[in-house]
Chains A and B, each alone.
Chain A
Amino acid sequence: MLVLNNVEVIYDRVILVLKGMSLTVPEGSVVALLGSNGAGKTTTLKAISGLLQAENGKVTDGTIDFCGENITNMDAEKVVQRGIFQVMEGRRVFEHLTVEENLLAGSYTRKDRSNIKKDLELVCRYFPRLLDLRHRVVGYLSGGEQQMLAIGRALMAKPKLMLLDEPSLGLAPLLVAEIFKIVREINRREGTTILVVEQNANVALSIADYGYIMENGRIVLEGEVDKLRDNEDVREFYLGLTDVGKKKSYRDVKHYKRRKRWLG
Chain B
Amino acid sequence: MFLQLLVTGLVVGSIYALVALGFVLIYKASDCINFAQGEFLLVGAYVALWVVTSYNVPFLPAVMLTLCLALALGVLVERMVLRPFIGEPVISVIMATIGLSSLMRGVTQLIWGTDTMIYPPVFPQEPVNLAGVVISQVYLWSLGLAILLLAVFSLFFKFTTTGIVMRAVADDQQAALSMGISVKKVFAITWAIAAMVAAVGGILLGNINGVNSSLAHLGLKVLPVAILGGLDSIPGAILGGFIIGVLENLVGGYLDPVFGGGVKEVVPFVILVLILLVRPYGLFGKEVIERV
A-side residues, CB < 8 A to B, are 49, 51, 54, 56, 76-77, 79-81, 85-86, 88, 92-97, 101-102, 104-106, 108-109, 137, 139-140, 142, 153-154, 157
Provided the pairs A77-B182, A139-B289, A139-B291 are in contact, do residues A97 and B177 lie with their beta carbons within 8 angstroms?
no
Q: Is chain B's interface secondary structure helix, strand, loop, or mixed overall?
A: helix
B181 within 8 A of A: yes
**Which B165-182 residues have a C-beta within 8 angstroms of A?**
165, 167-168, 170-172, 174-182
Contact, CB under 8 Å: A81 / B180: yes
Task: List residues of chain B with CB within 8 A of the CB of A94.
Answer: 167-168, 171-172, 175-176
B286 within 8 A of A: yes
Q: How far is the CB of B76 from chain A (nearest CB, A)?
A: 22
**Which B residue's beta carbon lies closest to that of A81?**
B180
B161 within 8 A of A: yes
Q: How far is the CB of B230 from chain A (nearest CB, A)?
A: 12
Among B167, B172, B175, B289, residue most surrounded by chain A Cβ atoms (within 10 Å): B175
Number of residues on chain B facing chain A (CB within 8 A): 21
Contact, CB under 8 Å: A104 / B161: yes
Task: List residues of chain B with CB within 8 A of the CB of A154.
Answer: 179
Selected from B165, B179, B289, the residue in CB contact (under 8 A) with A95 is B289
**Which B residue's beta carbon lies closest to that of A157?**
B179
Task: List residues of chain A with CB within 8 A of the CB of B164.
Answer: 97, 101, 104-105
Among B161, B167, B171, residue most surrounded by chain A Cβ atoms (within 10 Å): B171
Contact, CB under 8 Å: A97 / B167: yes
Contact, CB under 8 Å: B180 / A108: yes
Task: List residues of chain B with CB within 8 A of the CB of A92.
Answer: 172, 174-175, 178
Q: How far is the CB of B175 from chain A (nearest CB, A)?
A: 4
Determine the distance from Cα of A95 to Cα of B179 in the docked complex, in whole angstroms.
Answer: 16
Selected from B87, B174, B179, B289, the residue in CB contact (under 8 A) with A105 is B179
**Which A residue's beta carbon lies closest to that of B291?**
A140
Q: How far is the CB of A127 from chain B (nearest CB, A)?
A: 17
Task: List residues of chain B with CB within 8 A of the CB of A139.
Answer: 289, 291
Contact, CB under 8 Å: A88 / B167: no
Selected from A81, A93, A109, the residue in CB contact (under 8 A) with B175 is A93
Contact, CB under 8 Å: A86 / B161: no
**Which A residue's beta carbon lies closest to that of B180?**
A80
Determine the distance from Cα of A93 to Cα of B179 in the docked complex, in whole angstroms.
Answer: 11
**Which B residue's beta carbon lies closest to that of A79?**
B180
Selected from A49, A96, A101, the residue in CB contact (under 8 A) with B178 is A49
**Which B residue's beta carbon lies closest to that of A84?**
B180
Among B161, B165, B178, B291, residue most surrounded by chain A Cβ atoms (within 10 Å): B178
Determine the distance from Cα of A153 to Cα of B181 in the docked complex, in whole angstroms.
Answer: 13
Selected from B167, B171, B181, the residue in CB contact (under 8 A) with A108 is B181
Q: How far is the CB of A131 from chain B (nearest CB, A)?
A: 19
Task: List residues of chain A with CB within 8 A of the CB of B176.
Answer: 94, 105
Determine the distance from Cα of A71 to Cα of B170 in the docked complex, in whole angstroms.
Answer: 28
Contact, CB under 8 Å: A76 / B167: no
**Which B residue's beta carbon lies closest to that of A113?**
B161
**Which A residue's beta carbon lies closest to that of B162?**
A108
**Which A residue's beta carbon lies closest to that of B289?**
A139
**Which A residue's beta carbon lies closest to that of B86?**
A54
Q: How far is the CB of A52 from chain B (nearest CB, A)?
A: 11
Determine the distance from Cα of A56 to Cα of B174 in the docked complex, in whole angstroms.
Answer: 13
Task: List residues of chain A with CB within 8 A of the CB of B175.
Answer: 88, 92-94
Q: How far is the CB of A205 from chain B (nearest CB, A)?
A: 26
Task: List residues of chain B with CB within 8 A of the CB of A108.
Answer: 161, 165, 179-181
Determine the distance from Cα of A232 to Cα of B172 in the docked complex, in whole angstroms.
Answer: 42
Q: How far is the CB of B53 from chain A (nearest CB, A)?
A: 44
Contact, CB under 8 Å: A109 / B180: yes
Determine the distance from Cα of A126 to Cα of B176 in the docked complex, in whole angstroms.
Answer: 23
Contact, CB under 8 Å: B167 / A96: yes
Contact, CB under 8 Å: A51 / B291: no
Determine the distance from Cα of A261 to Cα of B172 in the docked complex, in whole angstroms.
Answer: 41
**Which A residue's beta carbon lies closest to that of B184?**
A77
**What are the 3 A-B residue pairs with the smallest beta carbon separation, nearest first?**
A80-B180, A139-B289, A92-B175
Q: How far is the CB of B211 from chain A (nearest CB, A)?
A: 38
Q: How far is the CB of B245 from chain A (nearest CB, A)?
A: 27
Q: How far is the CB of A77 from chain B (nearest CB, A)?
A: 5
Task: List residues of chain A with CB within 8 A of the CB of B174.
Answer: 51, 54, 88, 92
Q: How far is the CB of B123 from chain A (nearest CB, A)?
A: 40
Task: List residues of chain A with CB within 8 A of the CB of B177.
Answer: 51, 54, 76-77
Q: How far is the CB of A50 from chain B (nearest CB, A)?
A: 8
Contact, CB under 8 Å: A106 / B291: no
Taking A81-B180, A108-B180 as given, write out 15 further A-B residue pairs in contact, using a Cβ cutoff of 8 Å, ordered by the A residue number.
A49-B178, A51-B177, A51-B178, A54-B174, A79-B180, A88-B175, A92-B175, A93-B172, A96-B167, A96-B286, A97-B167, A101-B164, A104-B161, A105-B164, A106-B179
